Amino acid sequence: MAHQSDVLVIGGGVIGLCCAYFLAQRGYRVTVLEKARLGSGCSYGNAGLIVPSHSVPLAAPGVLGKGLRWLLNPESPLYLKPRLDGQLWAWLWRFCRACTARHRQRAMPLLRDLHLASLRLYSELAALEGMDFGLAQRGLLTVCRTPQGFAAAREEAHLLQGIGLEAHPLSAAEVQQHEPRVAFRTVGGVFYPQDAHLDPARFVQALARHLAARGVALQEATEVFGFDTVGSRLTRVKTTRGDFAAEEVVLAGGAWSPQLARLLDLRLLMQPGKGYSLTVRRPPAAPRTPLMLAEARVAVTPMDNVLRFAGTLELAGFDFSLSRRRLAAICRAVPAYMPALVVERLALVEIWRGWRPCTPDGLPYLGRTRRYANLTIATGHAMLGVSLGPITGLLVAQLLSGEAPAVDLTLLRVERFA
Ligand SMILES: Cc1cc2nc3c(=O)[nH]c(=O)nc-3n(C[C@H](O)[C@H](O)[C@H](O)COP(=O)(O)OP(=O)(O)OC[C@H]3O[C@@H](n4cnc5c(N)ncnc54)[C@H](O)[C@@H]3O)c2cc1C
């Protein structure tokens, strides 16, 4: 006998749990299938930033020139481990093709709307009982060390102002004024007041408790390894804890989604983009506002009594190693901007790495597939999964319940690279 529910959500990260929340809100009986522990994937140790300021997609003009210089340097913010892998080369090909002004122009208003909608939903979630996850809207301060970096940051700010977002270029003195407790070595920066941040692990845990209290079945240590289909319908999901059946299945398996899709003969073009974070006990000279160290691409997020440094994007497949070289690159970057913050001298709480689910064009996959009538895919959020979690959950719930989606989903079509 299969366990029965209305909707099965595969993946217990920020995306899967947000889907479960909005589906349960509409009265569906939901079961979440998670192979490890809830929130133990990429949703655990990330920088926790909610970022309308990141409405320029990763695939954008100019990225190729910079990216190619970085790609083969293991200490750069973006590193590609060269290997013979057809999927990787197909991904790179599509990435290069997406680095156009046209793609950027079409993607930016959509990303803006998704981030801002998510931010509103986060405020609603934070108002629910027991949902304390450190949500704070103190903006994001991008800090630049070089004139070239500052020029690029101002150019990006200008693009974002063009779609109605708030972005304030600041001189070096103004950056210093903004964060008087921190001694900066900077030529200037940009302040994005609409951005916010949270503690991602606390969010996932609080949401999981909320869902469990409302009858959502949360199945941990339950790995999906197959599907039964009849015609165009998924009839059973086969797991290490037995079979599960439901009217609808949502695939939200993060960076592992392509492997799951392959079991259904579906091709999801995606690469795991490994990133690292180092969390330390919060020193007295920590910034109050989250920072983005522009040239180094390192995020610095204050969370309660800790401070987190997060960065690097490594296209190395599922390589589980901890690269000391790449951790050292993050550690070196921080005092280059804030000389008093020497990471190695701070009290370490945790080193973490996770795999971002990266699509070639920097936009998630969200929608139904042509092949299966009762399968919805919600993945590929790359470096924006926390920021876009709640709106993704809402859109999935709207799709399944036949409501008009809050935004036009054309650019997010699941089979756009098929
Ligand atoms: C260093 C770093 C910093 C980041 N900073 C930010 C940030 O500031 N803001 C932001 O918005 N985003 C950030 N991100 C990106 C963000 O973390 C991800 O986009 C997001 O966590 C993806 O969520 P997810 O639910 O899709 O994936 P995951 O959290 O990885 O969840 C997928 C889940 O599916 C489960 N699963 C996989 N296969 C199976 C299976 N066969 N059966 C059952 N379960 C399965 C996994 O165990 C996992 O728990 C950052 C990422 C990194 C690495």
Query: Of all atoms in ligand 1, which is nearest to the CA of residue 381?
Result: 19
Distance 124 CA to ligand 1 centre (A): 22
Considering only residues 398 and 79, tell me which one the structure prediction assigns the higher pLDDT: 398
More reliable by pLDDT, 81 or 22: 22
Q: What pLDDT is attached to residue 399?
A: 98
Q: In a mutational test of the pocket of ligand 1, which residue from 19, 256, 298 has the highest number of ligand atoms less than 8 Å from its CB? A: 256
Query: How far, in Å, from the CA of 186 to the mean position of ligand 1?
Result: 32
Site residues for ligand 1, CB cut-off 6 Å: 10-16, 33-36, 40-43, 46-49, 223-224, 252-256, 260, 275-277, 299, 310, 354, 356-357, 379, 381-387
Q: Over 90: is that where the pLDDT of 66 sits?
A: no
- Nearest protein Cα to ligand 1, atom 35: 11
Atom of ligand 1 nearest to the CA of 277: 1
Q: Is the pLDDT of residue 77 over 90?
A: no
Q: Which atom of ligand 1 is nearest to the CA of 312?
A: 1
Mutate which of 9, 33, 43, 377 for ligand 1? The one with the most ligand atoms within 8 Å of its CB, which is: 43
pLDDT digits (tens, 9 = 90+) for 191-245: 999 999 999 999 999 999 999 999 999 999 999 999 999 999 999 999 999 999 9
The pLDDT of residue 43 is 98
Spatial separation of the C-alpha atoms in residues 42 and 32, rounded to whole Å: 17
Q: Please tell me the predicted confidence (pLDDT) of residue 418.
A: 82
pLDDT at 64: 73
pLDDT tens for each residue of 367-377: 999 999 999 99
How confident is residue 320, by pLDDT bands cut at 50, 70 and 90?
Answer: confident
